[in-house]
Structure 1
Amino acid sequence: MNTTLHTECIEVCNQLLRGEISAVETYGQAIEKFAGEPEVGTLRRVQDEHRESVAKLKANILEMGGVPESNSGAWGTFAKGVEATAKLFGEASAVAALRQGEEFGIGLYEAAIENDDVMPECKSLIRMQLLPKLRTHLVTLSALEG
């Protein structure tokens, strides 16, 4: 593939990748907060699904000839905010913050689908594999907020 033709798509996918890396970090912090609680298993499962999305996005970027991001960058600030919120306000606030992160991620994926610079193959990956997971995570987190 010609990298110059896919620069915009690679950039969008790297933005999504940074978000997924941040989600893995954020869930790690939430898991620490919930240590010993029954919710830990659910949070680990969601974290693992974000790890799977990281792997898929990295592979996709490499396939386009790009260089995948290796850290969350500015997204890490969001993860730190979740950790601070959890420490100050407890578990319910941590789950609410996780839910907000998932909602923000859904918005980014939906914007990528609408972006004309994003290749059809990438849009398919988002529609069929990545976005449905985030929607499921919202339901899971809502149940935890119960």
Structure 2
Amino acid sequence: MANVNSDIETLNSFLRGELSAVETYRQAIGHVETDNVRDQLQGCLQDHEQRVSSLRDRIEKLGGTPSDSSGPWGVFAQLVQAGADALGEKAAVQALEQGEDHGLADYQRDIDKLHGEARRFGRMVLLPAQKQTHERVRLLKKTLH
């Protein structure tokens, strides 16, 4: 039971990060004028929304209650993104890349706190998906230089 509670706690931490990412991408997309950039960011948003859905399902299957808020990271992300929005698309994408860096670091740091099937889910689904989204934003940033 301790492992299940620990897994629920770790998965909820990942969920709060994903919710923060969704909030930040939605805000950024609203301030992007270039179609290609907006399309790329929309794809990243959908990636994060998919992880939110997967995490919620996994937490419920373990008998937990999924977080419904990004918590303090969401507030931080909004502040960072608000500053980037005032500086334009390039700054917004740079801020999103920083968020992707943070998300990737969270997964890499905490994935081994999970047990059994939850760990497999983290290693086989969450981490590869986060790496892919991270790379997508990194490449987008390169095109804006």
Unaligned regions of 5+ residues in structure 1, if any? none
CA-to-aligned-CA distance 1:108-136 (integer Å, 9 cap, x gap): 11122232xx2121111111111112211
Q: TM-score, normalised by structure 1?
A: 0.89
| Structure 2 residue identity aligned to 1:20 | E
Q: How large is the RMSD of aligned CA atoms in angstroms? A: 1.5
| Structure 2 residue identity aligned to 1:132 | P
For residues 102-117 of structure 1, the aligned pairs below 5 Å read 102-115=100-113
For residues 67-146 of structure 1, the aligned pairs below 5 Å read 67-115=65-113, 118-146=114-142
1:51 CA displacement: 0.5
Q: Which residue of 1 aligns with 2:58?
A: 60
1:80 CA displacement: 0.8
CA distance in 2, matches of 1:142, 1:59: 29
Assess if the C-alpha contact under 8 Å between 2:16 and 2:69 holds in 1: yes
CA distance in 1, matches of 2:52, 2:138: 23
CA distance in 1, matches of 2:35, 2:3: 49
CA-to-aligned-CA distance 1:73-96 (integer Å, 9 cap, x gap): 112113212322223322111111
CA distance in 2, matches of 1:133, 1:78: 23
CA distance in 2, matches of 1:48, 1:120: 27
State the aligned residue count: 142
